[in-house]
Structure 1
Amino acid sequence: MTNENEPLVLRADRADGLTTLTLNRPGQFNSLSKAMLTALQAELDRIAADESRRVVVIAGAGKAFCAGHDLKEMRGNHEKAFMQALFRQCGELMLTIQRMPQPVIARVQGIATAAGCQLVSMCDLAVAADVAKFAVSGINVGLFCSTPAVGLARNLGRKAALEMLLTGEFIDALEAQRRGLVNRVVPADALEAEVDRLAATILAKSAVAIRAGKGMFYKQLEMDIGQAYDYAAEVMACNMMSEDAAEGIDAFMQKRAPAYVGR
């Protein structure tokens, strides 16, 4: 169980630009209390403003990745205003993950339920241990997982998302991969190494292209196809004017590794 003096979110920065944020309430299965949401939001805001941070990993301490909202806290504050503020705060956190320039990878070692499953769905990429399980289980206690449904519906097909939401049943990691919730599934003892490999592949690319590309990807999803092509063409033209694009193309033609400058 976490010592009360320990931070709710552990941060580890590496020299290569990778930052790992670990949810640190293992005794409560890393549930998203208001304090946990506040701590995670603060770290993500700091990272988003720091160009030296290139990739973010969100992990969980202990057996669970994240069991969703803190039900004990919710029952102890049974007022509509509290619930509205809590779900708005959680929604803002999820949008921060999508809007920040760095790719965010979920490293899922255990169960991810309700808002924990939502957290996985809102990360840009996700790697899961083969023992991990996923559910949006609010329906089992009389609560439809409406806010988790937003991220889930944008990862899975409608029928697959609704099956999870209406039944509350768990799916295993391989099924989550088949449905599009996670990218890769590996044995538990290979999880950290697989996340490192994925992060290293991204870290080797142009920071300029990654920042522009992530923002473009999500923005164009909300447009009709004509607007999306117009917007994507403008982003790509601007990207082509960067020093990194010039260096990358020259390196390709000269058959050498690029030396990106990050501008």
Structure 2
Amino acid sequence: MTATNSEQESAVLVEQVGPIRRLIMNRPKSRNALSEEMMEALAKELDNANNDDATRVVVIAANGPVFCAGHNLKELTARRSDPDHGRHYFALIMRTCSTLMQAIVNMPKIVIAEVQGTATAAGLQLVATCDLAICVNESNFCTPGVNIGLFCSTPMVALTRAVPRKQAMEMLVTGEEIDAHTAKAYGIVNRVVPLEYLRLVVDKYATEIAQKSAHALKFGKETFYRQADMNLADAYDLTSLVMTENMLAADSEEGISAFLAKRSADWPSLK
């Protein structure tokens, strides 16, 4: 993405191509920081995408050289002059961000981060929260809050659910940047590609996913996140129940019939 859009335009631009809806963060001058405006715009557009039956996959992208620089520190610092020294506003911003991240996890549609540049602090949190993430060779990632006396506690939630604990702790306590290939090795991103192929690769993933059973994806995504923090026995109890319900669904009946008949499935959930 290029920074060709005016700052007077929406904080998030929406582009629909078939079943793929791309939400493009559009505040390159402020490094697409998760300001109050940006988070409200993202939350609104995610909700719109979730309620649109024609949309099957959501991509979160950005204009400019930076994907997302985390919270807007100037916006936060300006509220230190409030009577409560900013406590209420700080709490509001952190709750808003936490709600946004949970909305991504809880929506039944797959969300892909298309990372064309650097992602730091809550920006890295956004990448780690998305179901899939594809970045370019030039991307860097870090949780630098510790360098300014502000431990990245909310980004830690997504980070520790995406990477091994030792690697997560190293990033959190050093604040050092890692490059794209280290981020892939850690599990923050799925693929690292040249910049000129970023959209092509993201669209390939999105198009392939959009052709799957919407019903199966809904079952699968919800269960994936629910079982991840369960003990082994509880996880198997949950997934056995979900598999049973999934088997009874019309998409499963059609999909299995199509497989046995060696034909393409005609998913009822996509009609």
Asked if TM exceeds 0.5, the reply is: yes
Give the 5 Å matches for 1:1-263.
Answer: 3-15=6-18, 17-78=19-80, 79-262=86-269
How far off is 1:220 after superposition? 1.3
How far off is 1:139 after superposition? 1.1
How far off is 1:132 after superposition? 0.6
Cα shift readout 1:158-209 (whole Å, capped 9, x = no counterpart) = 1100111111111111100000000011111110001011111211211110
After TM superposition, which residue ranges in structure 1, 4 or more long, deviate above 6 angstroms? none
| Distance in 1 of aligned mates of 2:138 and 2:27 | 20
TM-score (norm 1): 0.97
Cα shift readout 1:83-103 (whole Å, capped 9, x = no counterpart) = 111101100000000000101
Counterpart of 1:12 in 2: which secondary structure?
A: strand
Counterpart of 2:269 in 1: which secondary structure?
A: coil
Counterpart of 1:37 in 2: which secondary structure?
A: helix
Counterpart of 2:245 in 1: which secondary structure?
A: helix
Determine what percentage of the aligned residue pairs are the same residue: 46
| Distance in 2 of aligned mates of 1:41 and 1:204 | 25
TM-score (norm 2): 0.94
| Distance in 1 of aligned mates of 2:229 and 2:173 | 26
How far off is 1:81 after superposition? 1.1
Could you tell me which amino acid in structure 1 is paired with residue 40 of structure 2? T
Unaligned runs of 5+ in 2: 81-85
Does the 8 A contact of 2:7 with 2:26 survive in 1? no
Does the 8 A contact of 2:115 with 2:135 survive in 1? yes
| Distance in 2 of aligned mates of 1:187 and 1:83 | 38
Could you tell me which amino acid in structure 2 is paired with residue 53 of structure 1? T
**Aligned length in residues:** 262
What is the RMSD computed on CA atoms of the aligned residues? 1.2
How far off is 1:223 after superposition? 2.2
Cα shift readout 1:6-49 (whole Å, capped 9, x = no counterpart) = 0000011222x111000000011100111111111111112222
Could you tell me which amino acid in structure 1 is paired with residue 110 of structure 2? P
How far off is 1:5 after superposition? 2.4
Instruction: State which drifts further: 241-250 or 160-169.
Output: 241-250
Could you tell me which amino acid in structure 2 is paired with residue 237 of structure 1? T
Cα shift readout 1:219-262 (whole Å, capped 9, x = no counterpart) = 11232221211111111111111221111111111112212121
Unaligned runs of 5+ in 1: none
Cα shift readout 1:129-177 (whole Å, capped 9, x = no counterpart) = 1111101111111111000001000001111001111111111111000
Could you tell me which amino acid in structure 1 is paired with residue 157 of structure 2? V
Instruction: State which drifts further: 237-246 or 19-28.
Output: 237-246
